[in-house]
Amino acid sequence: MILAGDVGGTKVHLALYDFTNGQLEHRRDEKYPAKEYSGLEEIVKQFLGGDQVSSACFGVPGPVRNGRLRLTNLPWTLDSRELATSLKIEHVFLINDLEANGYGIAELTAEQIYTLAEGDSSQVGNRALVAAGTGLGEGLLIWNGKQHIPFPSEGGHADFAPRNEDEIDLLRFLKQKYNGRISFERVVSGMGLTNVYEFLREVRGLEEPAWLVEKLSQADDPNTVITEMALAAKSEICVKALDMFVSVYGAEAGNLALKVLSVGGVYIGGGIAPRILEKLKDGTFMKAFTDKGRLSQLLINMPVRIILESRAALMGAAAYAEARAAEISGVSHRAASVKA
């Protein structure tokens, strides 16, 4: 079996996979609150119990250098060699979380993807991946003539570029709040939706009714309340917040598409998109995505697809672990599972 992991600042999601006739077969998975554990090894050992795995891959937030990464939101330093020794797993790999998502795309079925815009599906070329969740992840899938090769990026931390008066004032509000530079992640992420909501309340003076204040105070995650009230059209400030959020999301997805020249398609991943699917369908996202002046037609021709499968990064990590281990050992579990 293969161990796959998606390591975030708040939780660690682990899963076991095998192969059946060349296809990934999910066995089991579990999520763990990261801050309640001393390190990744403790979580993995608890998850595995007595199960034996031949290889493992963990998608991690941030740039991996020589198999090593220091997490920014946790006091952990991860090293693939140390993990392999501690966990007694022969092959252990660390890759960027969006890179793992990129490898996962090839493993998805049609039912696990929603096509937001058909574009020109006959085009072949690079793809772009943008994923808003706790943060904003961005990745590239470069077409080499035979297949798409995922590459990590930290593009979500690029400077936020406002496009209209509301967004210019939002930038000013956030520069004051954070006392300095503002990245796209401050707007397009979980914290971003809250930031937009606070801007509309504090700067634009939109009403925050007492019942909404109470709801927000009782919620574990205010973004859930803002999203639910917006989708149900029960609060003007929530509707406006989600509208601004989705518009900026679409604009930044379009920015990435231009930089990658992603004629092969743009994929929207992360945990937020499936939860606001109905909002993404209303045209707000695509209007901002294609609003690129002289190059708008280029964006109109690009297919845009939303990843609905929450385990896409785990699937990609499992696929990567098997492929890299096969390169090293000469033994492919995927190939061995194909019936003659």
pLDDT band at 322 (very low <50, low <70, confident <90, very high): very high
For CA atoms 284, 286, 291, 297, the dihedral sign is negative
Among residues 274, 189, 194, 188, the alpha carbon closest in space to that of 226 is found at: 194
Which H or E run includes 141?
strand 136-143
- Alpha-carbon distance of 309 to 107, in angstroms, equals 11
Selected residue with higher pLDDT from 339 and 99? 99
- pLDDT at position 43 is 96
- pLDDT at position 340 is 55
Among residues 300, 298, 257, 309, the alpha carbon closest in space to that of 126 is found at: 257
Mean pLDDT throughout 300-320?
97
First to last CA, the chain: 21
**Coil/strand/helix, residue 78:** strand
Mean pLDDT throughout 265-278?
96
Residue-wise over 265-301: b if at least 16 C-beta within 10 A, else e? bbbbbbebbbebeebbeeebbbebbbebeeeeebbeb
Q: Is the pLDDT of residue 330 over 80?
A: yes
Write out pLDDT tens, residues 129-142.
Answer: 999 998 899 999 99
- Mean pLDDT over each residue of the chain, to the nearest integer: 95
Mean pLDDT throughout 174-195?
96
Mean pLDDT throughout 151-164?
95
Mean pLDDT throughout 44-52?
93
Q: Determine the number of helices (DSSP H) and then strands (DSSP E) in the chain.
A: 14, 13
Report if pTM > 0.85: yes
- pLDDT at position 73 is 77
Whether the CB-CB separation of 208 and 201 falls below 8 Å is answered with yes
Give me the long-range contacts of 140-148 (CB less than 8 A, separation at least 24).
140/102, 140/260, 141/102, 141/105, 141/262, 141/264, 141/267, 142/260, 143/264, 147/106, 148/102, 148/105, 148/106, 148/264
- pLDDT at position 118 is 96
Q: Which two tokens stand for residue 235?
A: 């609060």
- pLDDT at position 163 is 97
CATH fit for domain 109-308, picks 3.40.50.1820, 3.30.1300.10, 2.60.40.10, 3.40.367.20: 3.40.367.20
Q: Is the pLDDT of residue 62 over 90?
A: no
- pLDDT at position 111 is 95
Mean pLDDT throughout 301-322?
97
Whether the CB-CB separation of 139 and 156 falls below 8 Å is answered with no
Q: How many degrees, rounded to 5, is the angle at CA 33 between CA 27 and CA 36?
A: 130
- pLDDT at position 220 is 87
Largest CA-CA distance found in the chain, in angstroms, rounded:
68
- Neighbour count for residue 17 (Cβ, 10 Å): 25
- CATH level 3 topology of 2-104+311-337: Nucleotidyltransferase; domain 5 (3.30.420)
Domain ranges in the chain are: 2-104+311-337, 109-308
Mean pLDDT throughout 113-123?
95
Write out pLDDT tens, residues 273-304.
Answer: 999 999 999 999 999 999 999 999 999 999 99
At residue 79, φ and ψ (nearest 5 deg) are -135, 120
Query: Considering the chain, what percentage of its residues have pLDDT values greater than 70?
Result: 100
Mean pLDDT throughout 189-218?
96
- Alpha-carbon distance of 71 to 73, in angstroms, equals 6
- Neighbour count for residue 60 (Cβ, 10 Å): 24
Residue-wise over 229-254: b if at least 16 C-beta within 10 A, else e? bbbeeebebbbbbbebbbbbbbbbbb
**Coil/strand/helix, residue 225:** helix
Query: Considering the chain, what percentage of its residues have pLDDT values greater than 90?
Result: 90
